[in-house]
Amino acid sequence: MTLDRSTDPVAVALGDALVRRVREFPAVRSVWAAQVRWRAGGEERLVLHVAVDEDLPSASAGRLMQILLGEEVKLGRRHPEVGMLRTQHRHPRRHHRPTGPPGPGHGVP
């Protein structure tokens, strides 16, 4: 499979909706959309990758997807399917103690 940036109108609309709505979900740490194409068969779809700071399966990621596809972006027959990949975000500060003086980015949540 290959992942590419998408200029599909649905992908653009999802990006705009994410900017408006993601702050409602504090457990969601990052989200990005990609156009996925399977090499065998050429099937395509959009995939949202949602990294969350909570146990999987993530209720926040599921609710965000419901809102995006239920209230924000309407899919038609000719639009690509939209899937979601959920992963856990593990903040590095929770897993190790930095040594030495703080560098760029330290202290930023």
Q: 44-52 and 81-88: which strand pairing?
A: parallel
| Band (91; pLDDT cuts 50, 70, 90) | low
Q: Are 87 and 47 in contact (CB under 8 A)?
A: no
pLDDT digits (tens, 9 = 90+) for 41-56: 888 888 888 899 988 8
Q: Output the CA–CA distances (angstroms, integers) from residue 82 to 24, 28, 36, 75, in the order listed.
A: 21, 18, 10, 9
The reported pTM is 0.70
Distance CA 18, CA 12 (A): 10
Query: What letter would DSSP give residue 71?
Result: I
pLDDT digits (tens, 9 = 90+) for 24-41: 999 998 888 888 888 888
What is the residue-averaged pLDDT of the chain? 79
Which residue ranges form the domains of the chain, and what is each CATH number? 2-90 (3.30.70)
